[in-house]
Amino acid sequence: MTGRLQFLIAVVTLIALIYVANKVRKRVIELKYALVWFLVTFLLFIMDLFPDTLGDMARFLGISLPINMLILFGFGFVLLILYTFTIVITNQDRRIKRLIQEVSILNYRIDELENALRKEDIKVKKIKTRTADEGPEHKVKVEKQEKFKLLEEE
Amino acid sequence: MKALVIIPAYNEAGNIIKTVEDIKKNAPSFDYVIINDCSKDDTMRLCERMKYNVVNMPLNSGIGAAVQCGYLYAKRYGYDYAVQVDGDGQHEACFLEEMLHIMEKEKMNMLIGSRFIENLGFQSSYLRRIGIKWFSFLIKCYTGETITDPTSGMRMAGRDIINFFAEEYPKDYPEPETAIALLKLGYTVKEIPVQMKKREEGKSSISFKRSIYYMFKVTIACCMAGVGYKKYEKEDFEDKYFKGAL
């Protein structure tokens, strides 16, 4: 591994580390999910600092170039990051599903409540809910109708 | 004693009225709820015009999530029995009363309506029957029980299972997998013969391309369920979810 390459890798990993840290500071990335990035870039940086150890490891495993050792590690780290994100996605998926279900049941109960109140002659202001499930075509239709109304009023 | 029919519906405008009227007429001791999984066609407006009992999901989230929503509804409103009937008019409501009667008499946790005990009515295509045989075989391997129609959507669940399904239900194609999970957890699952019809309108959710995915996914899911649940976990599970939640 040439000094030039070593320098390049060190600079790139450091920039990546600072970049991610800055994003965390600005709250673009949640710290919890940035930790794995910190770990990976930091480890790559450390390895890059000791090319001799890397070379020994490469020779031990029968890899002819030390840089390939670094790439192998990098690949492993990428898999690690992907793995953590798979867990995160699964978790979110589950929670979103439950939220959708809760929202739909709540919607149902609100409708029920409103109907009951209306029967008792208690006035409730009817809010047009369910815009989300009526799709873009419906919205266009509603907009047209509203325009029409405005024209009529004029 | 309260019993609920869960009707998951996605783009079933052509079938939904027939299905609901069938239930109202032939299964009078059941309440019903339609879970409209954000249909793109007229299903929602149709249900509202007919004043049907409908829960509208705000985002399309798949058949599994819709059915689970139905079980959640059953749990919240304190139903003792819940049965799933597909919104496409394949299942005939006249069998529901019989199923409920047997459920009540023979205290069991789940009752499946099977097409392949008396082999009457619509028998599905040859390829599908091979798939169904395969899942029966898997269930036999993992649990030692015989379920002749593991893909049947017509399944009646008692209270414990309603609570279980409200917490844990696969996203798609849940039937064979949950059968194994329930048997592994030590619940009793039985079958009775029913007849089904060929669907009249709309498309089955399992097209040819999908069926390859289906076979893989469900086979792996069955294997996971086969090793993933142990009898002693039932109490843990009940502690974790039901006692805390209710």
The answer to whether B56 contacts A133, with C-beta atoms less than 8 Å apart, is: yes
pLDDT at B40 over 90: no
| B58: three-class secondary structure by DSSP | coil
Q: Establish if B171 touches chain A: CB-CB under 8 angstroms.
A: yes
Give the model's pLDDT for residue A153: 65
CA–CA min distance A136, chain B (Å): 11
Give A142's pLDDT tier (boundaries 50, 70, 90).
low
Give the model's pLDDT for residue A8: 92
| CA–CA dist B42, B84 (Å, integer) | 22
Task: From chain A, pick out residues whose CB is under 8 angstroms from the CB of B65.
Answer: 97, 100-101
Give the largest Cα separation in chain B, rounded: 49
CA–CA min distance A32, chain B (Å): 26
From first CA to last CA, the distance across chain B in angstroms is: 19
Give the largest Cα separation in chain A, rounded: 86
The answer to whether B73 contacts A132, with C-beta atoms less than 8 Å apart, is: no
pLDDT at A89 over 90: yes
Q: Which residues contact B103 (CB under 8 A, 6 or more apart)?
A: B81, B111, B156, B158
Give the model's pLDDT for residue B72: 93
| Total residue count of chain B as it appears in this document | 246
Give the model's pLDDT for residue A126: 61
> What is the DSSP track for B164-214?
HHHH---SS--HHHHHHHHHHTT--EEEEE--B----SS--S--HHHHHHH
Closest by Cα among A97, A86, A100, A109 to B168: A97
Q: Selecting from 3.40.50.300, 3.90.550.10, 3.40.50.1260, 1.20.1440.230, what CATH number does the domain B3-245 have? A: 3.90.550.10
Give the model's pLDDT for residue B10: 87
What 8-state DSSP symbol labels residue A125? P
| CA–CA dist B74, A98 (Å, integer) | 15
Give the model's pLDDT for residue A21: 93
Give the model's pLDDT for residue B73: 94
Give A128's pLDDT tier (boundaries 50, 70, 90).
low
Q: Establish if B72 touches chain A: CB-CB under 8 angstroms.
A: yes
Mean pLDDT of B139-144: 88
Which residue type occupies A97? K
Return the percentage of chain B with pLDDT > 90, whole number: 18
3-state per-residue secondary structure call for A41-88? HHHHHHHHHCHHHHHHHHHHHCCCCHHHHHHHHHHHHHHHHHHHHHHH
What's chain A's average pLDDT? 84
Judge whether B152 and B227 are in contact, CB under 8 Å.
no
Dump pLDDT digits (tens) for A21-53.
Answer: 999 999 999 898 899 999 999 998 998 888 888
Chain centroid to CA B59: how far?
21
More confident residue, B124 or B194: B194
| CA–CA dist B105, A150 (Å, integer) | 64
The answer to whether B65 contacts A132, with C-beta atoms less than 8 Å apart, is: no
Q: Which tokens sit at B228?
A: 């993933």
Chain centroid to CA B177: how far?
12
Give the model's pLDDT for residue B5: 92
| Angle at A70 (CA atoms; ends A69, A74), nearest 5 degrees | 120
CA–CA min distance B38, chain A (Å): 6
Give the model's pLDDT for residue A2: 79
| A34: three-class secondary structure by DSSP | helix
pLDDT at B81 over 80: yes
Mean pLDDT of B108-112: 90
Mean pLDDT of A136-142: 59
Which residue type occupies B190? K
Measured CA to CA in angstroms, residue B15 lies from B42, B97, B205 at distances of: 11, 21, 14
Give A154's pLDDT tier (boundaries 50, 70, 90).
low
Relative to beta strand B155-157, strand B31-36 is unpaired
Mean pLDDT of A112-124: 80
Q: Which of A115-119, B80-84, B238-242 has the lowest mean pLDDT?
A: B238-242
What's chain B's average pLDDT? 83
Beta strands in chain B (DSSP E): 3-9, 31-36, 54-56, 81-84, 110-114, 155-157, 189-193
Return the percentage of chain A with pLDDT > 90, whole number: 42
pLDDT at A103 over 90: yes
pLDDT at B144 over 80: yes
Give the model's pLDDT for residue A131: 47
Give the model's pLDDT for residue B245: 43
DSSP H or E run through B62: helix B62-76
Dump pLDDT digits (tens) for B221-238.
Answer: 888 888 877 665 666 666
Give the model's pLDDT for residue B170: 87
**Which chain B residue's Cα is nearest to A136?**
B40
Give B126's pLDDT tier (boundaries 50, 70, 90).
confident
DSSP H or E run through B127: helix B126-143
Dump pLDDT digits (tens) for B58-72.
Answer: 988 888 899 999 999
The answer to whether A130 contacts B73, with C-beta atoms less than 8 Å apart, is: no
CA–CA min distance A115, chain B (Å): 12
pLDDT at B214 over 90: no
Give B244's pLDDT tier (boundaries 50, 70, 90).
very low
| CA–CA dist B103, B98 (Å, integer) | 9
| CA–CA dist B67, A131 (Å, integer) | 23
